[in-house]
A and B are shown apart, each in its own frame.
Chain A
Amino acid sequence: MTSSRFLPRSSARRNFPTLVECVDRFVVLSLLLAMLILDCGRAAADDVVIETESLSVTIAGAPIKLEAISAKPAGASGKLPIALIVPGLPRASQTNLSAADQMLTARDFARRGWLAAVVLRRGYGRSAGAKPQPVPCDVAAYRKKLAADADDLEAALAALARRPDADSTRAIALGNASAGAAVVALSARNPDGLSAAISISGGLQSEMSCAWDKPLVNVLQEFGRQSRVPNFWLYAKNDSVFTEDLADRMHAAFLDAGGDVTFVTFDPVGTEGQALFTARATRHLWLAEVDGFLRAHQLPTWTRADLNRIMTKLNYKPDLLNSSALHILEQYFADSGEKALAHSTTTAFIGNRTTLWGAMARPSLDLARAAALALCNKESTGCVIVMENQTWVGD
């Protein structure tokens, strides 16, 4: 087991225009400040334990190794629920993926209380197995490809469930693009312990220039007949592959066949909605929705009780109808790492006036801390960092 502080590699996509990565002025400012502020040299103990070993699974009786990374909260004792995270691109033959690209997603789920494992299907990235073939444009081919994907995910889930630190009775599977369709296929098998299937910009695009929407909608209708696992599907309206109209048709087919799906289509994001999952700038959108969905299903994530504990530590009492401090804490908890929260100890907390400044979704904790302090110092004095990621570090 290795424990390391890992920075995500650039998640720039090869096949799609990416969203403009959010290098905002705060990051620039914080880089400058990081050089000036002595305090930023203090290294926080990492709150997440990372493992980068491949996952040994058995598929159709044969052992095989899948590229994987896993993350869990440092100091966690007992068994953790399993979050299986599967990256993908829209086409079956787009295999140029890396589990480490989703390090941040693994960390975000670990910080929400999960044993998070990013796993690549056979033939993707450095996972063993034959490279997946292009999918022809008929429902039998779609069925076959997604059954193979479901085999991989089922095997990965079974391997993870054998870990001594895993709670095999509570698992979720989250997939992007073709892996989104794969988690829906997995949910159609109703595996023991699978509590939810989350598909982000999910679907499967045939390599042929043909009406591939039809076999896709048809196969999802079949899954809807079989699946009894709560599904959560998220799309952006400006997804150029799985368009708003196609997403609606997939949804209606799955739902009307008897599937249990909560369906969210975000208004257009960035320049390409297919990048909803991978773009740093849109992580907070789907993370906040996933948090809400997890809470609604009594699955682990941050809750109001966590916010209340921080409010108590800050000696804040929410007023009756409006508390900007609470709103800031919610934004902070919902957003992606790396993040830090600064607090002004010299400003009185009165009504709507805030004494909290958060810097979220930053490339590193040091940058997040510097950015939060910079925001605080711009408007107030006596600024100290009170939270690093989901951990209280104040007095």
Chain B
Amino acid sequence: MKLDHRIIARLSENKSHSKDADLFRALDGSMLGRLVATTRIPALLLLATSMIASAAPVGRADDLKTEYGFSRVTIDRRVVRLESLVIRRADAQGRLPIAIFNHGRPGSMIEARDQRLTQPVFTHVLSDFARRGWLAVAVARRGYGLSDGPRQDHPGCKIDSAMAWMNVDADDIQAALEAIGKRPDADPTRMISLGVSAGGGASVALSARNRPGLVAAIDIDGGEHNENCALTEQSIPLDFRTMGTASRVPNLWLFAKNDSLHPPAQVEIMRTAFSAGGGDVKLVEFDPIVPEGHVFSETIGGRRLWLPVMDEFLRAHNLPTWTDRDVDFMLGQLHLSPKAREFIANYLSRPTDKALARSTQREFLADGFAMTMDAARKLALDSCESKAPPCVIAMENEQVVPPH
């Protein structure tokens, strides 16, 4: 039985909407009119004939530990303080691999300090990684949020300005990874850099430096764009060839087909140039996302699309993410039949915040995900009760909710 998910995005002025179903509110889209989306998750009917309790040996408490503050890093031998956020599983033992999530840049750099890591989207994205076993980190680069400055100003229209921009951003990421790697709970031999828009481009640039321990770069809708600068047509193939020639770090690139800043033809030029240089890149393109493909990345609707693709990439490179064992464990915890396996596997790939509802009458499950747990619970319950009432919440994120 296949799940059918539909993401409906629309401009909020057209229709009223649930304020919680705010799926496509993006950081990079601070210049946007408010975009709103709703999600409908058709319930999955499970025809259970038996109950199997498979007990995994370790528990999966969902407690996350969040540290908001500053990182003291060194860039060009200067002391720089960067606003930072670190989220990890509270019960994780030993050194954790590091996933650094890199933000984009606003349409106007005058708003760079408005991009704070206290915005909920950072907690959500980092939680997605923390649940997969990572020491999940975000830093505000120089000039953003409460980080030291100055910010980079909009590059002029020069052949090397886009690459120079990406390299300055990569300097910040590299410095942050060096600082984070010294934590006693960090494993600096396994680090990935992922980012959206400018943060994605910077991750590719960082991958071209082949820093020890950097094992993957994930670029979500990031490349070179410079409004009204025809020179990017020349610089894109040159820069991506140069980066591909240098980079020996596996890259995953994720784009929506209607990214107006990086249309598919441009992405193909990037990919071709990077590969021709010898770079290792897997490109995944998503069908158009209404109304603008450039800003799908860190939204909950966007994460619903790219998290499963990323999970597959991580597994292919023997990097941590959820596994079959986690599915077995949850089936056991929830006393579900094996027929629920696909549903639970899908649930594990879902974005934070998520909830799972189950019918008290028969084996029937539904899930919901949203920017708040309250909204996620409501989506899950409504979806479940529309088919098999009454229902109760069985999981919040990955924490089993005991029946009362």
- What would be 20 A-B contacts, judged by CB atoms less than 8 Å apart? A255-B72, A255-B81, A256-B72, A261-B81, A262-B148, A264-B149, A266-B150, A288-B110, A291-B113, A292-B113, A295-B114, A304-B30, A318-B33, A320-B292, A320-B294, A321-B260, A321-B294, A322-B31, A322-B107, A352-B227
Instruction: Indicate with 1 or 0, residue by residue over A249-291, a CB within 8 angstroms of chain B CB atoms.
Output: 0011001100001111111000000000000000000001101
> Which of B32, B110, B147 lies in contact with A334, CB distance below 8 A?
B110
User: Do A304 and B150 have beta carbons less than 8 Å apart?
Assistant: no
Q: Are B31 and A323 in contact (CB under 8 A)?
A: yes
Main secondary structure, interface of A, reads helix
Q: Is the CB–CB distance between B79 and A252 below 8 Å? A: yes
Inter-chain contacts of A330 with B (CB < 8 A): 108, 110-111
Residues of A within 8 A of B177 (CB): none
Interface of B toward A, CB cutoff 8 Å = 29-33, 72, 78-81, 107-108, 110-114, 116, 143, 145-150, 227-228, 260-261, 291-292, 294-295
Cβ B147 vs Cβ A262 within 8 A: yes
A320-B291 contact in complex given A289-B113, A296-B114, A327-B108, C-beta closer than 8 Å: yes
Residue of B33, B80, B116, B150 touching A289 (CB-CB under 8 A) = B150
Q: Shortest CB–CB separation between residue B314 and chain A, in angstroms? A: 30
- Residues in B neighbouring A251, C-beta threshold 8 A: 79
User: Quick check: B146 and A321 within 8 Å, CB to CB?
Assistant: no
Residue of B nearest to A284 (CB): B110
Give min CB distance, B37 to chain A, whole Å: 14
**Is A296's CB under 8 angstroms from B145's CB?**
yes
CB atoms of A321 and B31 under 8 A apart: yes
Task: State the main secondary structure of chain B at its contact with A.
Answer: loop
Number of A-B contacts (CB under 8 A): 90
CA separation between A127 and B107, bound complex, in Å? 46
A262 vs B227: C-alpha distance in the bound complex, in angstroms? 30
> How far is A326 from B110 in the complex, measured between Cα atoms in Å?
11
Residues of B within 8 A of A320 (CB): 29, 31-33, 260, 291-292, 294-295
A163 at the interface (CB under 8 A from B): no
Q: Determine if A4 is an interface residue (Cβ-Cβ < 8 Å).
A: no
B260 to chain A: closest residue by CB: A321
User: Known contacts being A321-B260, A326-B108, is A255 close to B113, with CB within 8 Å?
Assistant: no
CB pair B107–A323 under 8 Å, yes or no, is: yes
| Contacting residues, chain A, for B78 (C-beta < 8 A) | 248
Contact of A262 among B81, B111, B292, B295 (CB under 8 A): B81
Complex interface residues of chain A between 282 and 321 (CB less than 8 A to chain B): 288-289, 291-293, 295-296, 304, 317-318, 320-321
Q: A263-B149, A295-B113, A320-B294 are in contact. List 8 more A-B contacts (CB 8 A).
A: A248-B79, A251-B79, A263-B148, A264-B148, A265-B149, A289-B113, A289-B149, A326-B31
